[in-house]
Amino acid sequence: MDRTPQVQRRTRRLLVATQVLGGLGVGAGVTVTTLLAFELSGSAALAGLAASASAFGAGVAAAAIGASARHGRRPGLVAGYLVGLAGAVLAVTAATVTSFPLMIAATFLFGSSNASNLQARYAATDLADPARRGADLSVVVWATTVGAVLGPNLTGPGVVVAELVGVPDLAGPYVFSATAFATAALLLAVGLRPDPLLLARDLAGTSAGDGPSPRRGVASAFAAVGASGGARAAVAAIAAAHAVMVGVMVMSPVHMGHHGADVRIIGLTISLHIFGMYALSPVFGRLTDRYGAHRILAVGLGQLVLAVALAALSTPQGGPGFLAGLLLLGTGWSAALIAGSALLTASLPLDDRAPAQGLSDLAMNVAGGSAGALSGLLMTLLGFSAMAATTILLLLAPAALVAVETRRTRRTDGGTVLADVS
């Protein structure tokens, strides 16, 4: 009797649970990262380095998690949460001893937890029926919604916890982060058995006996992605979509505030954006399975262009145009992430997937971290509207790659992602 469907259901449930915990931990810490960095450095410019350090840390960790997948999914995902746990503890220490350099190191390590959150979506595809790959992947992404919503609301309780353990108020949320990451790591270490990637290799007959698969690092991931048009389009689109989303999103509250928008309107706008990022993920997953990753990827890129246009041209005091722009900025990112991840997975042989998936998230985080760091400077030099408009340029090359792959796929297999190369 084939137990693959049963293992896949159990794996999916476990990943959803750990994704909630991981999202909660990331959300709790990220909410106070810039505030704590500003308090320790006394400089808004330096405070922005903390967020960038977290993004770059997530990128490095994603590549490492992908490379470690020769031993299966479990070791890398567990290690990512444990390194994130170390980052949370180090952030508490930095706040206690008032050290800004230590805070930068802490946020770099903290980013590893976000890498595990992102890489978990690929673990849901290892045993998935190719016809349901987008749906299974998207459910794991959707689970982040819970943590993303609840995490920022732990700032108040974090102050109470900080007083109980005798640390500065802004260090309190990191205590919740550390607890969430420790619990997620424990659940994965105990519950992710059998390892879905190792079982998939066994079923495909690619496992090298009882040992790990051959070592595949970043160089081999570059080679695998470079050899596949679908993989190239997927990685480029995911990275560009993330850069556009981050670049516009991080400056939107500042832009709104400069034009007198009420803080409640700013909060509503960002909430709508986050809703668009995660809550509709299952919709895009099912659309990807039904209509093909190429088409939904194109839809996602199109939404991002429309989102940037609305944000750049609408009044920033919270009018319907600006609200719609930030909502579409989230849904466009979601569609690109879900469809791009499904396309990347389907475009590569089984043994090449995990390193390439790590490389994709490395590119995504580096692009996002760079966009976040540069958007403030561009906004100062050009203004918000021009800064936002320039981000559209980032989508031109990925759009061309997707168009080429769409035409090629129509000639070969009807435009779906269901034909697996493995």
Residue 25 within a domain: yes
Q: What's the rounded Cα separation, in Å, for the pair 183 and 342? A: 28
For 366-376, write each residue's pLDDT tens digit. 999 888 888 88
**Segment of 31-35, 245-249, 339-343 carrying the highest mean pLDDT:** 339-343
Confidence grade of residue 315 (pLDDT, cut at 50, 70, 90): confident
Helices (H), 98-132: 100-123
Residue 206 within a domain: no
Sign of the alpha-carbon dihedral angle for 397, 398, 400, 401: positive
152 and 237 share one domain: no
Question: Which helix (H) or strand (E) covers residue 411, if one does?
Answer: helix 396-412
What local confidence, expressed as pLDDT, does residue 412 receive?
A: 67
CA within 13 Å, CB half, 34 = 13
| Mean per-residue pLDDT of the chain | 90
326 is in which domain, residue-wise? 217-411
88 and 122 share one domain: yes
User: Into how many domains does the chain fold?
Assistant: 2
151 and 245 share one domain: no
SS3 124: coil
50 and 130 share one domain: yes
Q: What's the rounded Cα separation, in Å, for the pair 157 and 279? A: 25
Q: 13: phi > 0 → left, psi -120 to 50 → alpha, else beta; which?
A: alpha
Neighbours of 279 (CB within 10 A): 17
Q: 179: exposed, middle or buried (C-beta count within 10 Å: 0-12, 13-18, 19+)? A: middle
DSSP 64: H
What local confidence, expressed as pLDDT, does residue 110 receive?
A: 97
Q: What's the rounded Cα separation, in Å, for the pair 112 and 86? A: 10
Instruction: Read off the CATH number of the domain in which 14 is found.
Output: 1.20.1250.20
For 385-412, write each residue's pLDDT tens digit. 999 999 999 999 999 999 999 888 777 6
Distance of CA 402 to the CA centre of its chain: 21
Question: Which helix (H) or strand (E) covers residue 95, if one does?
Answer: helix 73-97
Residue 29 within a domain: yes
What local confidence, expressed as pLDDT, does residue 155 receive?
A: 80
For 226-250, write each residue's pLDDT tens digit. 999 999 999 999 999 999 999 998 8
| pTM of the predicted protein model | 0.89
The CA distances from residue 150 to 17, 96, 137, 177, 264, in Å, are 14, 25, 22, 12, 17
Q: 67: exposed, middle or buried (C-beta count within 10 Å: 0-12, 13-18, 19+)? A: buried
Write down which residue in 194, 209, 234 finishes a domain: 194
404 and 261 share one domain: yes
For 62-102, write each residue's pLDDT tens digit. 999 999 998 999 999 999 999 999 999 999 999 999 999 99
The backbone torsions φ and ψ at residue 128, rounded to the nearest 5 degrees and listed phi first, read -70, 145
